[in-house]
Structure 1
Amino acid sequence: MKIIAFERKKKGTSFSRNLRKIGKVPGIIYGGNKDPVKISMNHNMIYHALKKETFHSSILNLEIYGKVELVLLRNFQLHAYKKLVLHADFQRVDTEKKIHVKVPLHFINSEISPAVKLNSCIISNVISDLYISCLPKNLPKFIEINLEKMEVNTSIHLSDIKLPRGVSVIHSTEEDPTIATAIIPVNTLESDNNSSIEKEKNNNS
């Protein structure tokens, strides 16, 4: 994805407020062996880009006066109740160095799993993204989790996932966190219990 930005020399709360009034978003590019650069961008462009999943987990082409730098979106700030982007931070990317990025998980085939198809389970997606380490060229837009073999009352853990080539997970406090789990709904259990009780009554009468 491409972002058009302009370098800005001024800074401060008052100047940033004036930028927003004319439809601009203040931001900054930092990292690498270069000095930070203060920038401004078109508000509508950034606002709509932030709605796209790939904008948050992809290498972006940020252009300033015809010169393109590879960057990652690292932080952004939204207004508490207005549809307004207040600020955006971008980090330069070195193609020869590993980056640490959160990438989304895409869950597929839950509807054909034995847990859902045969037992009417609900599959709960416990984790929606993973914090990974990889070279920029190996950065996946998402990681796919295939649920087609899930059985009733089972779970998928991090150790069960086949990661893309060149990608490793930066572990959280849990050694092998649960990614998804298949659970029988409470109302289904209650219905089954009531049916069993009713059947037992009929047999005893």
Structure 2
Amino acid sequence: MSDGIFTLDAEIRTDLGKGASRRLRHAGKVPAVLYGAGKEAVSLTLNHNKLFQAQGFEAFYSHVLTLNIGKEKVEVLVKDMQRHAFKPVVMHLDFLRVDAKVALQTNVPLHFINEEKAESIKLNGGHAEHHMVDVEVSCLPGDLPEYIEVDLINIELDQTIHLTDLVLPKGVSLVELNKGDDNHDLAVVTVKLSKGPKVEDEDAAEGDAAAEAAPAE
């Protein structure tokens, strides 16, 4: 993956309002707002094609991005993105400034690995029920992972992996567990026995059908 997707050129905009935003979109631009770090919010515009290409990567949403605003380079996170209801168009973006020395909180996707290799699933008829697809983490920007792996290779039937079972990178903690209560050790994934047809019910149905087809004595 090219690091280029994490760097976007932006321009400060002064023409604000719904009418101005419509004109920008017709010109292939996306309106955006940059805020945070105790500074005033700044209205921006970005090139839609470059942005649309970048947002197609999962890491775009959990990676510290760089905005080139004139000669200034600003590190940011995507905090909100509005898309068109049915067209492949990004309508608006909210960016949050990040400080390299200040911990941030953001959501990071979970990658479930070895699911198809786990004996409980491959050989014993189990299936994985995913209770969450991402987790909220707290860390310094430089420690922010693109994703967190959940290894299912040794998971057994009826076993649940909880937040406390996740292997986190150095310097990363889970916001939910930081609340300091066992009630926050949420379930991440459970392997349960897949429900198949009941053999005895099938046999009974076949027996009934045979009885109905047999001639009366």
Query: What is the SS of the residue equivalent to 2:87?
Result: coil
What displacement does 1:114 show?
2.1
Secondary structure of 2:167 counterpart: coil
Q: Which residue of 1 aligns with 2:112?
A: 107
Unaligned runs of 5+ in 2: 1-5, 205-217
Q: Report the residue type matching 1:154 in the other structure.
A: Q
Match of 1:202 in 2: none
Q: 2:194 aligns with which of 172, 185, 190?
A: 185
Q: Which residue of 2 aligns with 1:86?
A: 91
Structure with higher Rg: it is 2
Residue 145 of structure 2 aligns to a residue whose secondary structure is coil
- Partners of 1:2 and 1:71 lie apart in 2 by 10
Q: Distance in 2 between matches of 1:143 and 1:32?
A: 26
Counting matched residue pairs gives 195
1:43 aligned to which of 38, 44, 48:
48
Please give the TM-score of this superposition, normalised by the length of structure 1. 0.89
Deviations 1:95-126 (A, max 9, x none): 00000010000111112212113202111222
One-letter amino acid of the counterpart of residue 161, structure 2: I
- Maintained 8 Å contact 2:149/2:167: no
User: How far off its partner does 1:196 sit?
Assistant: 10
Q: In the alignment, what sits opposite 2:125?
A: 120
Kept in 2: contact 1:115–1:121 (CA 8 A): yes
Corresponding residue number in structure 1 for 2:210: none
Q: Summarize the Cα distance change of 1:37–1:146 in structure 2 as closer, same or farther, 3 Å threshold.
A: same
Q: Check if 1:61 corresponds to 2:63.
A: no
1:143-158 equivalences under 5 Å are 143-158=148-163
Which string of whole-angstrom CA distances, capped at 9 and with x for unpartnered residues, describes residues 47-90 of structure 1?
22222111100000110113211000011111112221110010
C-alpha distance in structure 2 between counterparts of 1:111 and 1:85, whole Å: 35
Between the aligned partners of 2:128 and 2:83, the Cα distance in structure 1 is 32
Counterpart secondary structure, 2:116? helix
1:153 & 1:103 partners in 2: Cα distance?
26
> Helix, strand or coil: the match of 2:78?
strand
Q: Following the alignment from structure 1 to structure 2, what is the Cα–Cα distance between the partners of residues 61 and 127?
A: 29
Tell me whether 90-99 or 34-43 shows the greater mean CA deviation: 34-43
2 CA distance for matches of 1:3 and 1:134? Answer: 23
Q: Which residue of 1 aligns with 2:185?
A: 176
Across the aligned residues of Structure 1 and Structure 2, the Cα RMSD in angstroms comes to 1.9
Q: Percent identity?
A: 36
Contact 1:23 1:42 in 2 (8 A): yes
Once the two structures are superposed, residues 25-65 of structure 1 have per-residue CA deviations (whole angstroms, 9 ceiling, x without a partner) of: 00011111322111000111122222211110000011011
Ranges of 4+ aligned residues in structure 1 off by more than 2 Å: 193-197
Equivalence map 1:3-18=2 (5 Å): 3-18=8-23
